[in-house]
Amino acid sequence: MTTRAGFVALIGEPNAGKSTLTNRMVGAKVSIVTHKVQTTRTRIRGVAIEGDAQIVFVDTPGLFVPRRRLDRAMVKAAWGGAADADVIVLLIEAHRGVTEGVKRIVDGLKDMPQGQTVALAINKIDRVKAETLLALSQDLNERHAFAQTFMISAEKGHGVDDMRRWLADQLPEEPWLYPEDQIADLPMRMIAAEMTREKLTLRLHQELPYQLTVETEHWEERKDGSARVDQVVYVARDGHKGIVLGHKGETIKAISKASREELEEFLGRKVHLFLQVKVRENWLDEAERYSEMGLDFRDGD
Ligand SMILES: Nc1nc2c(ncn2[C@@H]2O[C@H](COP(=O)(O)OP(=O)(O)O)[C@@H](O)[C@H]2O)c(=O)[nH]1
Ligand SMILES: [Mg+2]
């Protein structure tokens, strides 16, 4: 029997819906999603099976004009993920159209390897009228020779099955890369840290989510089948610590509960989650924080 396998990188502006699409394609939540930009910080691999093909979706951080060291490392990781993939899918938000950011990304496609397949996915079609879509598709196809254009709603699921079938057909004949039942390629301690970071991002306002990081410091399997997970939330300032803890510790308690519940559901067993908040003024300039996130510190230079 012949099998196919390969990588499909999803790229686009922050908030285009790359993580939502990854989860939709995989059929499980492997990448965190929020309404805020720059939620995804590193390349997250989600594995989907379509017929005889194993498609490894590479969810990437959004592409934007970076300012901080962390931003630069994120953008490098995104383009690196694209260059290494068999197929690149550029996600565009239907209701926002061809923004300056989209123009910059299309421009950047020129630096990708010769002959690499690049498809276009116009996402969030649930937010616009059909006429808008045709005009947008035409406009974008004049800017770049996309191998195929898809109109989808990652959230509602419209058009994604067709797209998955087409993607499977583009992959080379290769043995599968992962065991049949594996859906993500990220260590469990990192998935757990991401879950907590998602809850923090949803709950905290403005700049704070961009100024913190979460690490799983300790993971202990207990005899009764449960797991004890210790995580540290690093914040950059003393004032931030107070906000993350909240009045009488209520904020951190709610975050911890939400994260624990999700982790328990993911693992299918009981979890004891302990969160600690530490002030670390320079965490954004510490190499170790980057490797914990799955990023290359030097990419931020
Ligand atoms: N209306 C609508 N919203 C969507 C769709 N796909 C994603 N979103 C929302 O867009 C926001 C950003 O999604 P996310 O997957 O985190 O984007 P990413 O930054 O590209 O990974 C979230 O609030 C999603 O719920 C869609 O098809 N339709
Ligand atoms: Mg994302």
Query: What lines the ligand 1 site, CB under 6 Å?
Result: 12, 14-20, 33-35, 39-40, 62, 123-124, 126-127, 153-156
CA of 37, nearest ligand number = 1
- β-pairing, 212-221 vs 227-235, is antiparallel
Q: Which residue CA neighbors atom 1 of ligand 1 most closely?
A: 124
d(CA 224, ligand 2 centre) in Å? 35
Q: Which residues of 231-259 are buried (b: 16+ CB within 10 A; e: fewer)?
A: bbbbbbeeebbebbbeeeeebbeebbebb
Residues with CB under 5 A from ligand 2 (ion): 18-19, 39-40
* Whole-structure pTM value: 0.94
CA of 196 to the centre of ligand 2 (A): 15
Q: For residue 23, what are the CA distances in angstroms to 101, 116, 161, 179?
A: 24, 24, 13, 18
CA distance 162 to 83: 24
Print pLDDT tens along the chain (301 aa). 799 999 999 999 999 999 999 999 999 999 999 999 999 999 999 999 999 999 999 999 999 999 999 999 999 999 999 999 999 999 999 999 999 999 999 999 999 999 999 999 999 999 999 999 999 999 999 999 999 999 999 999 999 999 999 999 999 999 999 999 899 988 899 999 999 999 999 999 888 999 999 999 999 999 999 999 999 999 999 999 999 999 999 999 999 999 999 999 999 999 999 999 999 999 999 999 999 999 999 999 8
**Atom nearest to 10 CA in ligand 1:** 20
